[in-house]
Amino acid sequence: MEYEKIRDALEEFVLNELYEKRRAHTLGVRDTALKLCEKYGADPLKAEIAALGHDMFRGLRGEALNEEIKRLGLPDKYLNDPNLAHSKIAAVRLREDYGVTDEDILNAVSYHTTGRKDMSLLEKVIYLADGIEPNRAYPGVDRIRQEAETSLDGACLMAMQGTIEYVTSQGTHLDEDTKEAADHLLQESKENK
């Protein structure tokens, strides 16, 4: 895999195809991921690829979304759910359209919204960067950013707990991966004390 060429092609896509707000978010995720890579030792080129590709299909809605889910053979649980489906679509399309075969990159994209149990370093970096990039403004984000300065796992856990609390308060579906990821990080935290 020629990482530099893939990164450049994805950057071109982001700059030319995404609307302004999504483009700003994506570039913010990339820049934040690179800072987290420097701090925690993840591969910066892989992080750039995952960050640039993570929201490529965030704008799919309605029938276009459902057609893509069916075409790719994704589970029916993603039908009519752009919040969860876009990451799965992006991971498959990175493989199909850009030739990305590195499972760590594909998993980082696929699970950037929910997290999952036993996340890799790269997966944690992309998950967290998506939640704390500079354009994000929600209650508690500054606390998570502060935690990210000293603990990647701690910041991921805070972000997941915030997601669980928010989704539960809205009465919407909480993906099981998020709950399992938070439980796993909490258990690891207790074991490391």
What pLDDT is recorded for position 189?
84
What pLDDT is recorded for position 28?
98
pLDDT, mean over the chain: 95
Residue of higher predicted confidence among 174 and 23: 23
What pLDDT is recorded for position 173?
81
The full set of domain ranges for the chain reads: 3-137
Mean pLDDT, rounded, for 36-42: 98
Tokens of 74: 């994704």
Question: b/e string for 40-70 if b means 16 or more Cβ within 10 A?
Answer: bebbbebbbbbbbbbbbbbebeeeebbebbe
Query: Rounded to an integer, what distance in angstroms lies between the CA atom of residue 105 and that of residue 43?
Result: 10
Mean pLDDT, rounded, for 158-170: 94
What is the share, in percent, of the chain residues with pLDDT greater than 70?
Answer: 99
Where is 170: in which H helix or E strand? helix 152-170
Lowest mean pLDDT among 20-24, 165-169, 171-175: 171-175
Residue of higher predicted confidence among 159 and 172: 159
pLDDT tens digits, one per residue of 76-127: 999 999 999 999 999 999 999 999 999 999 999 999 999 999 999 999 999 9
**What secondary structure letter does DSSP report for 115?**
-
Beta strands in the chain (DSSP E): none
What pLDDT is recorded for position 172?
85
pLDDT band for position 1 (cuts 50, 70, 90): low
What pTM was computed for the model? Answer: 0.95
Nearest partner of 177 among 122, 105, 123, 101, judged by Cα: 123
Nearest partner of 79 among 89, 65, 59, 58, judged by Cα: 65
Pick the CATH number of 3-137 from 3.40.50.970, 3.30.1120.10, 1.10.510.10, 1.10.3210.10: 1.10.3210.10
Angle between helices 176-191 and 152-170 (to 10 degrees): 140
